[in-house]
A and B are shown apart, each in its own frame.
Chain A
Amino acid sequence: MRFAVIQFGGSNCDHDVHYVISEIFGVDCDLLWYKDGLPRNYDAIIIPGGFSYGDYLRAGAIAARTPVMTEIIEHARVGRLVLGICNGAQILAESGLVPGIFTINRYPKFICRWVNLRVENADTPFTRAYSEGEVIRIPIAHKEGRYVAPEDALKTLETTGRVSFRFCTPGGDLLPDANPNGSANHITGVLNSQGNVMAMMPHPERASEEVLGSSDGKGIFSSIIHHVEEKG
Chain B
Amino acid sequence: MLSADDLDLIRKRLQREPTDVEVACFENLWSEHCSYRSTKNLLKTLPTSGPDVILGPGDDAAIVRFNDHLALAVSMESHNHPSYVDPHDGAATGVGGIVRDVLSMGARPIALMDPLYFGSLEREKNRYLFEHVVEGIGGYGNCIGVPVVRGDLVFDEGYNGNPLVNVVCVGIVRPDSYITARVKRPGNHLVLVGASTGRDGLGGASFASRDLSEDSESSDRPSVQIGDPFTEKLLIEAILEMAATGKVVSCRDLGAAGLAGASSEMCSTFGGLIHADRVHQREGNMHPVEIMLAESQERMLLEVDPGDVALIGKISERYDLPWSDIGEVIGEPSYRVTFHGRVVCDLPIDFLCDQAPLCEWKKEPYSLERPFARPSTGIRDLALRVLSHPEVADKSWVYEQYDHDVQIRTLSIGRDSGLLRLDGETLALSCGCNPRHINLSPYMGTANTVLENACNLACVGATPLCIVNCLNFASPLHPDIYWQLEQSVLGMGDMARKLQTPVVGGNVSLYNESDEMGTQIKPTPSIGMIGKGTRYSIPVPKDGSVLALLGETGGHFGGSVLDALTSCGGPVPPEGEIKNLARIRGLLTENPAIYATDLSQGGLLAALATLGIGADITLDGDILVQLFSETYGRFLLASDDESAFRGLPCRIIGTCGGDGLDITCGSETFGIASDEVSYALSSLSRTMRSW
Contacts and interface: CB of A to CB of B under 8 A. Distances in A.
B406 A16 contact: yes
A54 B142 CA distance: 10
Given A13-B145, A110-B401, A54 B411 contact: no
Determine which residue in A19, A20, A55 has the highest number of CB atoms from chain B within 10 A of its CB, and name it.
A55
Nearest to B134: A109
A55 B143 contact: yes
Task: Report the interface size class on chain B.
Answer: 20 to 34
A10 B228 CA distance: 11
A174 B559 CA distance: 46
A54 B143 contact: yes
Interface stretch (B63-71, B93-101, B190-198, B229-237): B229-237
A51 B536 contact: no
B405 A203 contact: yes
Contacts of B142: 51, 110, 112, 141, 143
Determine which residue in A33, A110, A111, A141 has the highest number of CB atoms from chain B within 10 A of its CB, and name it.
A110
B135 interface: yes
A12 B233 contact: yes
A112 B400 CA distance: 5
A77 interface: no
Contacts of A13: 145, 406
Interface string B531-561: 0000011000000000000000000000000
Interface residues of A, number: 32
Nearest to A16: B408
Contacts of B139: 110
Given A54-B228, A211-B536, A141 B405 contact: yes
A62 B321 CA distance: 17
Contacts of A35: 318
A139 interface: yes
Contacts of B233: 9-10, 12, 50-51, 54
A78 interface: no
A10 B143 contact: yes
Contacts of B402: 110, 112
Interface string B401-432: 11111111011000000000100000000000
Contacts of A209: 408
A42 interface: no
Given A9-B320, A35-B318, A55-B143, A112 B230 contact: no
B138 A206 contact: no
A226 interface: no
Determine which residue in A107, A143, A209 has the highest number of CB atoms from chain B within 10 A of its CB, and name it.
A143
A167 to B, nearest CB: 15
A109 B411 contact: no
29 contacts: A9-B233, A9-B320, A10-B230, A10-B233, A12-B145, A15-B407, A16-B407, A19-B408, A35-B318, A50-B145, A54-B143, A54-B228, A109-B135, A110-B135, A110-B142, A110-B403, A111-B400, A112-B399, A112-B400, A112-B403, A141-B142, A141-B405, A143-B142, A205-B408, A206-B405, A209-B408, A211-B421, A211-B537, A212-B405
Interface of A: 9-10, 12-13, 15-16, 19-20, 33, 35, 49-51, 53-56, 107, 109-113, 139, 141, 143, 203, 205-206, 209, 211-212
